[in-house]
Each structure stands twice: as C-alpha cells, then as structure tokens.
Amino acid sequence: MAFNLSKYFLFILTSLLVLLYSSCVRYDEFPLGEVQICDCETLNEKGNKFIGSDTSLPYFDGGKNQNNEFYKSGKHSVLTDPKNKYALAYLIQNCMPSQYYHIEVWRKSPNGKGVLVASANNADGLYVASEKSVETDDNGWEKLELDVFTPYDFVRKDIKIYVWNNSQDIIYFDDLKIKRLVVKEYPKFTISPLHIQLDTSEFIKLESKRQAAFENGILQSSDNDWIKGILFQDTNIYKAKLRLKGDWLDHLKGDKWSFRIKLKKSYSWNRLRTFSVQTPAARDYLREWVAHKIFEDQDVLTTRYGFIPLYINNSSRGLYAWEEHFQKQLLESRNRREGPILKFTEDGFWQSVKLESKYKYKSSLPYYQSSLIVPFGTGKTIESPVLFHEFLIAQKLMKQYKDQSASVEEIFDLDKFARYFALVDLLRAFHCRAWHNQRFYYNPILCKLEPIAYDGFGEDSELYLGINNNYVYRILHNGDIHENEFDLISRIFHDKNLINNYLTYLQKYSSDKFLQSQLSTLKTDIILYDSLIRMEFPNEIFDTNYLYKSAKDIRTYLPELERFLEDYSNQDKSKRIITQKNYSEEKVLENTPEFFVNAYQNGRNKDSLSIEVFNYYPRTVKLLGTGFNNEFIDFYLPKGIDLSPFNDGEDKILSFNSDTMANYLFFVVDGSDEIFKKEINKWPYPEGETPQQTLLKQVDLNDTSVFAQVKGKEIYFKKGKLEISKPIIIPAGYTVNMEAGTRLNLIDSSFILSYSSFEFHGSESNPIIITSSDFTARGVTVLQAEKTSNLSYVQLENLNTFYYKGWGLTGALTFYESDVNLDNISFYRNQCEDALNIVRSNFVLNSSSFDNIYSDAFDSDFSTGTVQYVKFTNIGNDAIDFSGSKILIKNTLVSGAADKGISGGEDSHLTVKDCVIENSNIGIASKDLSVLKVFDTRVVDCNYGLVLLQKKAEYGPAEIFTEGVSLQNAKVKMLIEQGSKVVESGKVIYGKEKNVAKLFY
C-alpha cells in the first residue's frame, strides 16, 4: 500500500512538472526573461497603435492620442482625458500559474491621479492596480510600479495591462515597461536576514497544501501539516517545524507565503519559541507594529512583533513581519505569571467560508454558537494538573462572556479591558475585535481574563470619521443583534464601571500629549522600519498623522458618546429584544456536521465515562457510539440516540455513559448516509460560576464576630483574640485596619482575601499574630489594592497558601499589584510554596525574619523593592528568589537554605550589599539574563559559592559582578556556564561548563 501511494505521488509530481514544462514551451507568448517597452514614439501603419521594443509582439493601444507637448523620454507620450480614459492597453496571452511580471510606467498628472492596471476577466480572479508613485523626477514625472503574480489556476489565460485616467483632468503617460522574471527581485537589506532551509520533499508538501488552499478558497490547517526545517541567522542554527499560516489566501499569494514556525525544545530565536512570519502588507505595514508598542506601553497584553528579511532555500522573499505565538513566553515577557491562553474555535466559520467559495453555496450555519473554548497548547494544558484546573475556570469565564451571563467585572480585569477597548478606538485596530480574532489570558492570581491585542488591521483600516467610527457606538447603536461580536458586547456596556473606565481612557489616549510621548519614544525605530518597508513597498510611506487625526476625532465625538452610553446603560436590559435566527441547511456537504456537534467528558468512574453531547446542526443527529480512534466504533449505542435540530437560543444537550477509553464520537445526520466523527473534548462543558464569583457573594462587612466597625471607607477588625473558621472577603475601595495585640486564629481552611489595602500595626511588645492552630489556614492575600499597604510588627505562623475550588496561589502572605511596606514581620513555620509572595508590586521589607519555612521564604516576580536587615534561617528551598525584578538586598543574613541563598532569574537585576549567606547549597545564583552586583558580602560553608546558568532557551546567559566578596569553604567556588561570566574586581572569568541547569533542575 505504501509503495502504491508513493507511485501515486510520483505520478502527480511528474504530471505537474510536465504541465509546467509544456506550458513554458507551447503557450508562452511572453517568454521568461522577456522585456517589452513602449516609449510612445513609434506608431503602426494605421497610426492607431504604438509599437513596442519587440516588434514581433502585439501593439499597445492609444496611438491616436500620441502627444509631443510633454514626454519622459524621446519626444512623445500618450495623452489621456475624461473622453479617452484608457491607453497603452497590451494583452499578454496564454499565461500560466505562478508567473511573475514587473510593470512600470511614468505619469505626469496635475492631481496625483492616474492608475497602472493589470487585470483578467472577472471570473479569473486577477486585478492589480497602482496609483501611488514610487519616484518623481525634476520635471514632475512620477513612476508607478506593479508586481503581478498569476493565480494557482491561471491556465492559458490572458492578462491585460493598461493605464487609466481616473480623473477629470489631462494625464500623460510614457515609457511603459513589462518584464517577466523568474522571481521578484527583492532589495538587499542591511540587517541580518533569517534563513529557512527545506528539503525538496518538504517543500513539495507545502506547495501541495497551498494548492489545496486555493482550491478550497481558504487555508484550513491541521496537525499533519507540519514539516521539518532548519533556520539560521548569522552563525546561529535552529531546528524547527513549520507549516503554512493564515486563513485568507493573501497569506499565500505570489512567493511571500506566511509560516508558523515552532522551534525544537532547546532552541529560541529572538527569545521566541513559536512564532509566525508574514508579509508586512497583511497587517497594514508599520501600523501593526506601532499598535503593539503602544499596547505594550499601556500594559495591555500583546504579542512581540518586528521585521526581518527572509530567505527560503537561499532565495530572498523580501521583508517579513514576525510575531510571537500564544505561549507562556508571551506572558513572561509581559510580566505575567503563566496561565492558559484561550480562544473561540473558528473551524465552523472557515468551513462555511470554504463551502461558499468552493461550491458557490451560501451556507447559514451557527458557527459562532458552536465554537468551542479551547486553550493554546491543549496537550500541555491537559497534562499539567495546575494548568488544567486553571483552564476549567477560564473556560467558564469565556462561556459567561459568550453568553453574557455575568458582569464584565466578574469576568475581566476591568481596568485592562477598558484600556484595550479605548486603544482599539485610538489606533483603529478594529480587526482584533472580530470574535474569532479574540484571545484571552486567564490570570491565575486574579481568577479573571485579560484581552490580548493582536491582528488589529485588515484591508480596511481607514474607515470613516465621526462617532460612527467608534467601535462600541457602531454596535450598540444598531441594537442587540444576536450574532458574533455584536452579541459579545451588547450587554457588557450596561456596566457603568466599565463605561466610566473606558471613557476615562478614551479621554487620556486621545490627547496630543499622550501621542507625542508615545511617538517620541518610538521615533528611532519608526524611521528604521519605515525605511526597510519602503525599500520593498515604495508606495507605503508611514505618516503618524493618522493617529493625531484619530485622536482629534475622538475628542470631537466624546461628549456625544458619553451621553449615548449613559442612556444605554440606564436601559432596562430585561426588556431589550434579542433577535433569534432560525437555521437550516439544504445540503449535507463533506465533513461539515463535524464542526457543529460538540462532545465533552463530564467525569469518569471505574467502568464508564460520562459524555455530554451538544447539537448545533440544524438537522436531527443520531448518536451511534464511541471509539478509541477515529476509524472504528468500539462502544455501540444499540438503538442510537437522537438529538433534535438546533434552534437559536437553546442547546440540544444529551448525556450518556460510554467506555472509559472513548476518544471519538460517531454519529449520522438526517439526509446523509455518511458516518461522521468528532473528537471528544477531555474536559467538561463549561457552566456555573468561578471560585472568585462564589467568594464575592460571601462578602459580609456587617459580621460583628470579625469586624468592630465599618466607618466610611475604613474597616476595623475586632481587637483581642479571634477564632475564624470561614473565609473573610473584603471588597475593593476600603482600608482594612488591625491594631496591636490582635490575635487571629484561622482554622477550618479559613483565609483572608482582600481587594483593599491593609494598615496592620502591632508593636514590639504587643505584636499582631495571625496563626492557625490546626495548620489549615489558607493564608492572607491582597489583590489589586489601590493604596499602599503598611504592616508592622506582625507575626504569621503555621499558614498555608490560598486555595479555593481550583483557584490557588503560592504564598502564605501574597500581594499582587498591591504596593506594600513590611516592617518587623515574622514568618514562622509556614507550610506552602512561598512564605511571602509579591507580584507586580513595589515593596520594602525591613527588619524581618523567616524561620523554619517549608519551601521558599520570599519569592517575588516582576516587582521593584528593597530587602534590608532581614534574617532567613532553616529554609526548605530558596531564601530569596526573584524573577523579572529589580531589587536592592542589604544587611541580610541567610543561614541554612536547602537550595539557594539569593537567586535572580528571568532578566532580574539585583544589587546585594553587606550580606552573609551560610550553610546553604548555593550561595548566590544568577540565571537567564539576570545581572547581579554583589558588594562586601560573605558566602560561607556553601556547596556552591556562585552559580551562573541559562535554564530557559528563550533567555540567555547570566552575569555576576563582585567587589569585596568572600567565598569561604565552598566545595565549588564558582560554577559558570558557557556564555555567562563573573567579573571579580574588574577581572572577567568566563564560563566553561555545559548544561549547568541539569545539575539543579
């Protein structure tokens, strides 16, 4: 069988080569390498046509309008006016697929009008035009250029080249030149290119997939599309997998194909592991990059994005835009903790597009309603217990967003969501708001979603001015339409907090001062990238005025928008009419029903698996059974089970028990004899509320057993000894006070979760004590408090970390996006991953102690702070561990850390002064682009004095600078990986070790 299949592919390949060869020999009337020039000087005998440089080829139209008043060369040109709009028409006959022509002409125009066109019959799908000049001479003649790639199915068809006067004035044209080349001649860029090397067999597989995409009208990707390749840039070589990328065919036209690239485990390029490359034209050239940089500056999640020349098998493909994919590296680069990234599947949508393109059949299917909520990296997510539980919560939030069944504050990080919406309006990046382009990060600390901004620009990025150009207004002003993104935002803008935040950011972002600040920072890179883009795309001149124009537009319509949103938010939501659609399907085509039947695992026991099935197809579905693979039914439903057709507004749901090994569902559809199959999702259907939503319902500030009083925005805990056996939830907007001598005993897995700042002030003789006599307490957590917290003389003992119904953190005491000053704080016998965890915050930790800690003592990510006069003793893992942070550590003692005394990772910058680290496994560690400066510090009786390594491929080597550092009695004074270095009192010590990370991780 394998032999026959090979012969079949060989036959197809041979036939294709014969076809291409025969096309070149028999049908080429404009041979490869041919150049035809019409200088408008020579006329035929009748005087109605121009003769070109190759007199054996057909003539050019417009000879009767030969003109000698203006000319680019020679003594003549052709004149066009409103009565004679077209000239220099020239027919290239019998063209074949994938041919390339470069066309240029000179124009003298009083108004910048006049177009160079290459077109075929409407049914042949070729029309290319150019109106923007790429060059102007001293006499006002402007050069137009056009690149023409013939489509995949362009077999023995004709291309007509001509100029068109699209104005009411007289326009002159001269020196039309047509060249047929093997490939487009791309500029030679000064920056180092990225090379992709592919074997011939792998390249043929890509070409075959591209051909299929043109036949289907779209590119539909699958796991079988990946091929092997090698990437290199300068002296760096990377093993990779890649496939074609993009949905629409503009990603595959000509020779600038788009690719998704996935590097092997130990490699990274530009600190990326998985990324895409595509023509800059696909994202409106420089506008996408500018949008990414402004989103990034405003702490709205976005992918990293840039430009690079690209070669494939040593052949230049010009300038490409690169963009990272949705993986944890994106989150780390934006100072976020790892969590699932989710999307709505769009397979049903693209299947509908395919049906319409391939069969000229207008399909009406509920592709939005049937779209699944899935994570990027499904396999990794399912295999990781932590990520899997986070995904289960995240998909509930996505489902609530899709159904509009919860408030925006319950679903999203409200502030970042408002920023995102406002920046979309300023930047006019409306394409990213399409429902199938939306991507969301589940923040595992907040138990909420954040939007990820990307893919903001489609073909129509200009739109029009006025309030109708505002994305929110355009949707809401048309009423609640139960479809796609209209449905997604129709109710969330009833939320007055969202409206207020959104309008506040619109006002901020639309100021010229804001734009001037942003663009001045980006000025140097804008000049560089604009010059690179113009080398290949000379018509594309980037002008920042579009942003100032957009900002002025927003300022103009903002008062009207405020009034409209105020009125809209006051409407009674329950009385708003939802338009429902009745779906029907006249034909059952190919595998289409598989996109509209969803199956979920809803739990398993020893002998069976509970499966829930949802029918979104507008015909009755009969379930036949399940199978381990997609070839055979292993578990039969003897009589089958019918699911009635889908009607908008109700899901057709059915549950049954199957074999525990079931991976696929088999079914048939009324009107078809074909057996369809659908992979069963390895998770339950998303329904119900999240842990955070459950907890917020338990807020009770009137609980007199806990609180003494609530006075305005001040909350006061009761004094004395309190035993608490239930969660204490404190909403945002308050200050929480606790006085000296208070003793909280948190039992029965109770905890304190606060969205407000703390003022906890004990004294040296009368400290505040927070403990857990039964060792079950779930810690003290502060999330996104507006004001800085201040804690002094507080003892935290016997505490574990926050955990509630799958929502879990790592610290006994946690501060997230909540600045804090900690003075004389004692951590003793805490039982979780981190005794103290501070994330994305500013802090001071002073005169405090950590003793008998189960794992890490102090772990901080993406923070700025000071650690001074602190003692760490008997630490089960790392005493001090910082990631992506800038920290000063001074006058601090670490005694007995089972792993590292002081550790800086993931691009941290630490300054260490006058410290002592003793009896630890590693004294000081620097990893993954971290830089540590260590002064007047002693490292005593440690197994390793200094360790420098690269743990993650997407980072790089590490550095430690020392001055006055004493390494005493270390078994290994310095362990330095290749690429890393220690600078000891000005002397550089380069690393020689390999794979140091394997010794410790």
Q: pLDDT (tens digit, 9 = 90+) per residue, 76-87?
A: 999 999 999 999
pLDDT of 7: 38
Helix axes 496-509, 545-569, angle to 10 degrees: 160
Residue 151, pLDDT above cutoff 90: no
Q: How far apart are CA 184 and CA 112, in angstroms?
A: 27
Residue 351, pLDDT above cutoff 70: yes
pLDDT of 245: 86
pLDDT of 220: 74
Compute the average pLDDT of residues 905-930: 97
Compute the average pLDDT of residues 425-441: 91
Residue 368, pLDDT above cutoff 90: no
Which of 242-251, 731-740, 824-833 has the lowest average pLDDT? 242-251
State the Cα angle at 214 between 210 and 215, rounded to 5°.
Answer: 115
pLDDT of 31: 87
Q: How far apart are CA 793 and CA 820, in angstroms?
A: 14
Q: pLDDT (tens digit, 9 = 90+) per residue, 396-416?
A: 999 999 888 898 999 999 999
Other CB atoms closer than 10 Å to residue 527's CB: what's the count? 11
Position 51: which residue type? I
Q: How far apart are CA 706 and CA 728, in angstroms?
A: 8
Residue 329, pLDDT above cutoff 50: yes
pLDDT band at 750 (very low <50, low <70, confident <90, very high): very high
pLDDT of 248: 72
**β-strand partners of 238:** 231
**Which carries the bigger pLDDT value, residue 638 or residue 714?**
714
Share of the chain above pLDDT 90, in %: 73
**β-strand partners of 1:** none
Compute the average pLDDT of residues 843-870: 97
Which of 93-107, 508-522, 877-891, 893-907 has the lowest average pLDDT? 93-107
Which of 217-231, 343-357, 578-592, 862-876 has the lowest average pLDDT? 578-592
State the Cα angle at 878 between 872 and 881, rounded to 5°.
Answer: 100
Residue 423, pLDDT above cutoff 50: yes
Sole residue written with tokens 């066009």: 80
Compute the average pLDDT of residues 498-520: 96
Q: pLDDT (tens digit, 9 = 90+) per residue, 593-603?
A: 999 999 999 88
pLDDT of 494: 79
* Chain Cα centroid distance, residue 244: 18
Compute the average pLDDT of residues 188-213: 89
Residue 660, pLDDT above cutoff 60: yes
Q: pLDDT (tens digit, 9 = 90+) per residue, 5-34?
A: 443 344 344 344 434 444 334 446 788 888
Compute the average pLDDT of residues 452-473: 77
Residue 441, pLDDT above cutoff 50: yes
pLDDT band at 183 (very low <50, low <70, confident <90, very high): confident
pLDDT of 63: 96
Compute the average pLDDT of residues 307-329: 95
Compute the average pLDDT of residues 978-983: 96
Which of 604-613, 789-798, 813-822 has the lowest average pLDDT? 604-613
Q: How far apart are CA 131 and CA 372, in angstroms?
A: 44
Helix boundaries (H) for 343-483: 347-359, 367-370, 378-383, 385-403, 408-411, 414-427, 471-476
pLDDT of 464: 65
Where on the phi/psi map is residue 717: left (φ > 0), alpha (ψ -120 to 50), or beta?
Answer: beta
* Chain Cα centroid distance, residue 845: 36
Q: How far apart are CA 699 and CA 39, in angstroms?
A: 83
pLDDT of 243: 93
Instruction: Compute the mean pLDDT over every residue in the chain, rounded to the nearest whole number.
Output: 90
Closest CA to 342 of 232, 465, 438: 438
pLDDT of 214: 77
**Which carries the bigger pLDDT value, residue 969 or residue 365?**
969
Integer Rg of the chain from CA? 33
DSSP-derived secondary structure letter, 24: I
pLDDT band at 124 (very low <50, low <70, confident <90, very high): low
pLDDT of 48: 94
Q: pLDDT (tens digit, 9 = 90+) per residue, 262-277?
A: 999 889 999 999 999 9
Residue 900, pLDDT above cutoff 80: yes
